[in-house]
């Protein structure tokens, strides 16, 4: 099930599903460790003796974010119970606390006895083994812990009443489903302690007059010791959860509105997606620099892993969007992260965990698993990730003008990366040596990687010129231009009339794979390899439009011909990223027309028309139904949307000014 909401503070990230159930709980890093890992934190409601879980299909649930805040808002209606449950959820911005405010509205004309049940299952440090949960009567709370990870579950009613029933039990062990089943008769067995694979349930009881409401607060605090967690728990009680929720909502509203985006003229749904996207970018950004691709752990059911890693490429695009949005103070640590993890030879690995350790990978060195093939070094990397970070750093400088920061990074990072990009090339063709493409599927020489390498070297040249290192500048520019010429010679296909997806070194020379890929066109203009008016670019554009547009009613651009990733129909799936790329491309032209602006507006309407029910963007869509597929939300999708909107509002103003100047008569003396 996709994640409907993501809430975070740069150390803790909590993901909720469409029922409002906690499904992912990352701490103490964003993306590391996931202590829930997809298991449901169920919520149950009992009204006058009749029990219901929120996911039992008797509830009509809507979920989204409160406007201009990183606060979740759920409305759950049940006509059989004659109640509506309204929840507001947040992660406290100052400390590691997940907070819920629950209002229960009694729509009947009679007095109602109401009980609310919260179920928790923690597989601490992503393992069901050696966990312990116990009820602590001194704090009237349930504690889950293992080693240096402690979670305290607590709450109170609006009148101050605390947990009035509880139980702890085995979870999915020896045939037991879990102690949550104990809640369904309304009373819990008060088992006080269990270890191994465990879960817990707590109950709050309240009453509600006819046509009135009752309120309950619930929270989970995280700490690295019992003492730390108890101290935070005490601060919640002292400050009150109501005040902390208000403080968090106010903080994120202020965070958003400290920048002027000029997006008020957008249709309301597009403006809301813009705001939501910025919060999703921030919630997936760790305060220590990592930016993960997605907190949605559901992907692990599809393959062997999920997206809770820092890919330098995805993170570079996300950092660029945050920089262009004015949040360069947020992205600074990302570049320091990259400096810290950079290989001594000047390249970045496939992906990283949020604590700067190396992430898991499926990249082999070659199809034969060799480090050396025909005496050429084959690295299990995606070279575009190194180049893309360099390119993103130049954008960071353009936004921040922080020259001291660039001086700090020049020797240990910029120069090392540039030297690697220059040297990691084939002597005969001038192209980069083989590495994996940006889609992480083919090892060869992709057009996108070449374009990114060109852009990275040109960025390094600009840094060198800025710091008056002119010999370096000339070297980097020379290598970049050699790559451009080699791309024209080896990667442009006369038969396709387009730059191909990828090519390979072979005994017979360089061989092109005659497939059109949307990333090839994107890389050519984004990294400045070609002006859009140039003939080879225009031919590639026409081929991309003809071959990669999804012809069903859903529309959108696919990644490349015959793409099979998450494919379940006779045609590949369209992606938000690739569809937004064309709008970005048209807005990035030197002379933008009214037609280009209208095209961008139509693209934004298409994006908003295919969001997940909570208002977040997936990675891709079913080409016939428009259903969200793969990781949801995908942070890169949101980053491209924000970046395109920012470009649109800028160009719209420029076009309006040009039209105004044309329409105003000139006066001569």
Percent of the chain with pLDDT over 70: 96
Over the stretch 623-634, which tens digit does the pLDDT of each residue have? 999 999 999 999
Which fold, 330-541? Answer: Glycosyltransferase (1.50.10)
Quick one: tokens of 591?
Answer: 């002379």
Over the stretch 546-574, which tens digit does the pLDDT of each residue have? 999 999 999 999 999 999 999 999 999 99
* Entry field: residues in the chain: 669
Over the stretch 157-213, which tens digit does the pLDDT of each residue have? 998 999 999 999 999 888 788 999 999 999 999 999 999 999 999 999 999 999 999
Over the stretch 107-126, which tens digit does the pLDDT of each residue have? 999 999 999 999 999 999 99
Q: What pLDDT is stored for residue 205 in this prediction?
A: 97
Q: Count Cα atoms within 13 angstroms, Cβ side, for 533.
A: 4
Quick one: tokens of 202?
Answer: 């707590």
Percent of the chain with pLDDT over 90: 91
Calculate the alpha carbon distances from 261 to 233, 274, 615 in Å: 38, 10, 20
Q: What pLDDT is stored for residue 375 in this prediction?
A: 46
> Please, what is the end-to-end C-alpha distance for the chain in angstroms?
71
Pair 590, 606: CB distance under 8 Å = no
The residue to which tokens 């651009």 are assigned: 557
Quick one: tokens of 635?
Answer: 């942070």
Q: Where are the alpha helices (DSSP H) in 325-469?
A: 328-341, 383-400, 403-409, 416-423, 447-466
User: What does pLDDT average to over the chain?
Assistant: 95
Q: What pLDDT is stored for residue 660 in this prediction?
A: 81
Closest CA to 304 of 367, 381, 362: 362
Handedness of CA 421, 426, 432, 435 (dihedral sign): negative
The residue to which tokens 């590495």 are assigned: 435
Q: What pLDDT is stored for residue 669 in this prediction?
A: 45
Query: What CA–CA distance (Å, rounded) separates 58 from 180?
Result: 18
Query: What CA–CA distance (Å, rounded) separates 309 from 332?
Result: 18
Over the stretch 13-49, which tens digit does the pLDDT of each residue have? 999 999 999 999 999 999 999 999 999 999 999 999 9
Give the mean pLDDT of 461-475.
97
Over the stretch 225-266, which tens digit does the pLDDT of each residue have? 999 999 999 999 999 999 999 999 999 999 999 999 999 999
Closest CA to 503 of 575, 429, 420: 429
Cβ-proximal residues to 101 (8 Å cutoff; 6+ apart), any chain: 87, 88, 89, 215, 216, 217, 241, 242, 245
Closest CA to 71 of 249, 256, 294: 249
Q: What pLDDT is stored for residue 662 in this prediction?
A: 75
Please check the confidence at residue 370 and state whether its pLDDT lies above 50: no
Pair 497, 543: CB distance under 8 Å = yes
Quick one: tokens of 442?
Answer: 């083919």
Confidence class for position 659, pLDDT limits 50, 70, 90: confident
Delimiting residues of CATH 2.70.98.10 domain(s) in the chain: 5-232
Cβ-proximal residues to 191 (8 Å cutoff; 6+ apart), any chain: 167, 168, 169, 179
Please check the confidence at residue 505 and state whether its pLDDT lies above 50: yes
Delimiting residues of CATH 1.50.10.10 domain(s) in the chain: 330-541
Pair 71, 88: CB distance under 8 Å = yes
Handedness of CA 262, 264, 267, 269 (dihedral sign): positive
Please check the confidence at residue 307 and state whether its pLDDT lies above 50: yes
Helix (H) or strand (E) holding 1: none
- CATH tag for 5-232 (out of 4.10.520.10, 1.10.10.10, 3.20.20.140, 2.70.98.10): 2.70.98.10
Helix (H) or strand (E) holding 535: helix 535-548
Calculate the alpha carbon distances from 286 to 3, 7, 136, 220, 435 in Å: 19, 12, 32, 20, 28
Q: What pLDDT is stored for residue 301 in this prediction?
A: 64
Please enumerate, as own/partner, the contacts of 60-64 that have beta carbons within 8 Å and a separation of 24 or more. 61/18, 61/19, 61/20, 62/613, 63/4, 63/5, 63/16, 63/18, 63/20, 63/613, 63/614, 64/4, 64/5, 64/614, 64/615
How many CB atoms are closer than 10 A to CB 627? 16
Query: What CA–CA distance (Å, rounded) separates 141 from 148?
Result: 19
Q: What pLDDT is stored for residue 667 in this prediction?
A: 54
Give the mean pLDDT of 136-153.
97
Q: What pLDDT is stored for residue 658 in this prediction?
A: 86
Angle ∠(531,532,533) on CA atoms, nearest 5: 90
Pair 447, 502: CB distance under 8 Å = yes
Give the mean pLDDT of 574-579.
98
Give the mean pLDDT of 308-315.
98
Calculate the alpha carbon distances from 548 to 43, 154, 419 in Å: 44, 52, 36
């Amino acid at each position: 099930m996709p994640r409907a909401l993501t809430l975070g503070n740069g150390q803790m990230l909590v993901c909720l599903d469409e029922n409002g159930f906690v499904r992912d709980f990352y701490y103490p890093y964003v993306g590391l460790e996931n202590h829930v890992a997809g298991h449901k934190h169920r919520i149950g409601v009992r009204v006058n003796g009749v029990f219901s879980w929120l996911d039992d299909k008797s509830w009509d649930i809507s979920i989204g974010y409160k406007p201009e805040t990183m606060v979740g808002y759920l409305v759950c209606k049940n006509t059989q119970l004659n109640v509506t449950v309204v929840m507001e959820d947040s992660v406290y911005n100052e400390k590691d606390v997940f907070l819920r405010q629950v209002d229960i509205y009694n729509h009947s004309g009679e007095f109602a006895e109401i009980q609310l049940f919260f179920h928790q299952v923690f597989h601490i440090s992503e393992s069901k083994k050696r966990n312990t949960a116990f009820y602590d009567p001194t704090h009237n709370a349930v504690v889950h812990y293992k080693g240096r990870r402690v979670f305290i579950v607590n709450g109170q009613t609006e009148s101050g009443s605390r947990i009035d029933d509880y139980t702890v039990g085995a979870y999915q062990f020896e045939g037991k489903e879990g102690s949550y089943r104990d809640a369904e008769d309304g009373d819990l067995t008060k088992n006080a302690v269990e270890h191994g694979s465990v879960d817990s349930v707590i109950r709050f009881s309240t009453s509600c007059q006819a046509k009135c409401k009752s309120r309950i607060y619930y929270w989970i605090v995280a700490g690295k010791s019992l003492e730390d967690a108890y101290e935070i728990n005490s601060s919640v009680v002292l400050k009150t959860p109501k005040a902390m929720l208000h403080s968090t909502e106010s903080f994120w509203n202020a965070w958003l509105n400290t920048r002027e985006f000029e997006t008020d003229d957008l249709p309301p749904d597009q403006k809301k997606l813009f705001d939501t996207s910025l919060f999703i970018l921030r919630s997936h950004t760790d305060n220590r620099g990592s930016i993960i691709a997605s907190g949605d752990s559901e992907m692990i059911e599809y393959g062997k892993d999920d997206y809770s890693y820092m890919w330098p490429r995805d993170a570079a695009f996300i950092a660029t969007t945050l920089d262009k949005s004015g949040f360069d103070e947020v992205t600074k640590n990302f570049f320091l992260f990259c400096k810290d993890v950079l290989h001594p030879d000047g390249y970045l690995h496939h992906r990283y965990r949020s604590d700067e350790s190396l992430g898991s990978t499926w990249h082999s060195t070659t199809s034969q698993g060799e480090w050396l093939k025909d005496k050429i070094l084959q690295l299990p990397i995606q070279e575009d990730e190194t180049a893309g970070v360099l390119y993103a750093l130049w954008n960071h400088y353009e936004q921040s003008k922080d020259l001291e920061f660039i001086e700090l990074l020049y020797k240990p990072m910029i120069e090392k990366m540039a030297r690697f990009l220059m040297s990691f090339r084939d002597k005969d063709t001038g192209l980069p040596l083989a590495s994996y493409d940006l889609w992480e599927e083919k090892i060869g020489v992709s057009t996108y990687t070449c374009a990114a390498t060109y852009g990275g070297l040109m960025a390094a040249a600009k840094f060198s010129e800025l710091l008056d290192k002119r010999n370096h500048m000339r070297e980097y520019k020379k290598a970049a231009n050699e790559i451009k010429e080699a791309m024209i010679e080896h990667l442009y296909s006369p038969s396709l009339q387009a730059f191909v997806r990828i090519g390979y070194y072979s005994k017979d020379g360089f061989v092109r794979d005659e497939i059109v890929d949307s990333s090839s066109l994107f890389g050519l203009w984004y990294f400045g390899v070609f002006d859009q008016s140039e003939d080879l670019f225009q031919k590639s554009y026409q081929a991309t439009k003809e071959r990669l547009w999804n012809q069903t009613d859903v529309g959108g651009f696919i990644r490349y011909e015959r793409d099979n990733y998450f494919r379940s129909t006779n045609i590949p799936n369209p992606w938000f990223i690739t569809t937004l790329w064309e709008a970005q491309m048209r807005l990035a032209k030197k002379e933008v027309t009214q037609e280009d602006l209208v095209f961008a507006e139509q693209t934004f309407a298409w994006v908003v028309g295919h969001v997940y029910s909570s208002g977040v963007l997936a990675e891709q869509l079913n080409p016939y139904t428009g259903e969200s597929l793969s990781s949801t939300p995908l942070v890169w999708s949101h980053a491209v949307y924000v970046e395109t909107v920012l470009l649109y509002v800028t160009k719209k103003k420029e076009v309006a000014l040009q039209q105004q100047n044309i329409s105003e008569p000139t006066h001569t003396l």
